[in-house]
Homo-oligomer: A and B are copies of this chain.
Amino acid sequence: MDALTIHEAAQTTGWTPRMLRYIERIGLIEPARRSSGYRQYGPGELQRLRTLRELLTEHQIELGDVAFALRLRRDNQLSGSVDRWLEAEPQRPDAVSADQWLRWEQEKHARIIAALTTNETMETAA
């Protein structure tokens, strides 16, 4: 009986019950149900709820974004189409775009290194 009700789950994860229902509605976390219909949040769901919040705040993304990523992962035809479209990026290295490219590439390094050091400290803490 280590399954929590929606209020309890909300309390221990920092979400509101309303948001837990919303998160379920957009397909991100769908807890099991009792025969009565009550949602049961197990340790797995609780963990995912907490990491979901980290994911959102650390990367400045929103629930809808994660939902779309899920859709991408589940719908191979969709992800194929999107990938194909993105692949066709005509990134010839002419002045401005190459500049921009370089800039975010450099920022990416910065981000990755920042993440590395951050993770190092966080992982030992966690």
Tell me the A residues contacting B by CB distance below 8 Å.
Answer: 30, 32-33, 42-45, 47-48, 51-52, 55, 58-59, 61, 65-66, 68-70, 72-78, 81-83, 85-86, 88-98, 100-101, 104-106, 108-109, 111-113, 115-116, 119-120, 123, 126
Contact = CB atoms under 8 A, between A and B. Distances in A.
13 contacts: A33-B96, A43-B95, A43-B98, A44-B91, A51-B88, A51-B101, A59-B82, A69-B72, A69-B82, A75-B108, A76-B108, A109-B119, A112-B116
A47 B86 contact: no
Contacts of A68: 61, 65, 68-69
Given A97-B30, A119-B108, A73 B45 contact: no
